[in-house]
Amino acid sequence: MENSEAIALTAALLTAAGDLTKRINDGVVARGFEARPAFGFAFARLAPDGATATDLAAHLGVTKQAASQLVDELVRKGYVERHPHPGDARARLVVLTELGWACTRAAEEAALEAVQPWVELLGESEVRVLCDRLRRIAPYGPIRPTW
């Protein structure tokens, strides 16, 4: 692979990721939720069993203070609640509320809509192959926003 091909591949993947993030967030907002992309990245870590602010900070690649500010915002908007941590009396477990779960379901619907043009362009089987190939090369771990 030539340098120019590597740059073109990198640009295409980053552009697709940015476009998907925007389209999913736009779809969530269109469904009546007050959201921004950081909410979805946080929800991915909070579902299904919750997490501490420290866990969330590590997942998002931000400071504990930044994660705590995001949790405060999510609490104010009704998407999450803080509960006593069952295994650590010093920690609080942040869990999705019913509104948070509803927002998550809206994001799933928006994601389906966001990839539908790919299915129409490439066909369902090619999109499945693309998904398989990306899973094989993508690193395991959290999906982090690009701040």
What value does the CA radius of gyration of the chain take, rounded to a whole number of Å? 17
**Percent of the chain clearing pLDDT 70 (strictly above):** 95
Give the model's confidence band at 146: pLDDT under 50 very low, under 70 low, under 90 confident, else very high: low
Find the helix or strand (DSSP H, E) in which 106 lies.
Answer: helix 98-122
Mean pLDDT over each residue of the chain, to the nearest integer? 91
